[in-house]
Structure 1
Amino acid sequence: MQLLAEQRGEVIVVQALGDRIDAAGAIQFKDRMRELTQLPSLRVILDLSRVAFLDSSGLGAVVAVMKALGPERKLELSGLTPTVQKVFRLTRMDSIFIIHDQLPEDFLPAKPGQCR
């Protein structure tokens, strides 16, 4: 699973670049997320807008990342596709995570010619 991370102040924004988080890549996803979130931050936002499929192993990996961050750091999710959103809703994990429809405005990449 390829992940792209950027630190913006007290927030690390991680974008999942693959289209699925499943049993085949869950361990790799979890390990890579641990690497990317080692820097101190108050929040981690995981952008899942490119992920079309998430199975129970993938969900377990996301939960494991949340637990690894500890209680003082929050893992927030953004851009859940309808299929992924359904997994979170059916398992009631949507009540555990802060879920944004899309990346908050402050964390969207700047458009050409636009300053942030």
Structure 2
Amino acid sequence: MQLIVADTGGHIAITVKEPRIDAAIATSFKDKMREIVLQGRKPVQMDMRSVDFMDSSGLGAMVAVRKALPSELPIILVGMTPNVERVFRLTRMDTVFQIQSEVT
């Protein structure tokens, strides 16, 4: 699992360096992400530019991570590829996660 994690003070910045978040890595992705977000207890900004594919297992892992955080702490998904963004919009998960086009 390739994740680059930085605490910026105001939020946890996570760069996902995996081309796919699918059934093959969903469980390890979920476990590692939960560990990161629960330790930080801050808003999370995820740079998703490297992710070209996400299936329902990957989406389920993302939802599990979202549920691990208190509702007032957002997970902001940044730089999603069109295929991955489509998965979020079709499943209405764009109402659960904040989506931005550029890393801030």
Cα distance, 1:40 vs structure 2: 3.0
TM-score (norm: length of structure 1) = 0.84
**Structure 2: how far apart are the matches of 1:40 and 1:70?**
8
Unaligned runs of 5+ in 1: 105-116
With 43-52 and 95-104 compared, the bigger mean Cα shift is at: 95-104
Q: How many residues align?
A: 103
Deviation string 1:44-90 (CA, Å, 9 cap, x unpaired) is 01111100000000001011101001223111111110100110111
Helix, strand or coil at the partner of 2:102: coil
Runs of 4+ in 1 over 2 A off after TM superposition: none
Are 2:16 and 1:13 aligned? no
Cα distance, 1:39 vs structure 2: 2.0
TM-score (norm: length of structure 2) = 0.93
Alignment of 1:38-57 (within 5 A): 38-41=39-42, 43-57=43-57
Aligned residue number for residue 97 of structure 1: 97
Instruction: Give the letter aligned to residue 45 of structure 1.
Output: Q
- RMSD of equivalent CA atoms: 1.0
**Structure 2: how far apart are the matches of 1:54 and 1:39?**
25
**Structure 1: how far apart are the matches of 2:56 and 2:40?**
28
Query: Is residue 41–residue 69 contact of structure 2 (8 Å, CA) maintained in 1?
Result: no
Pair member with larger Rg:
1
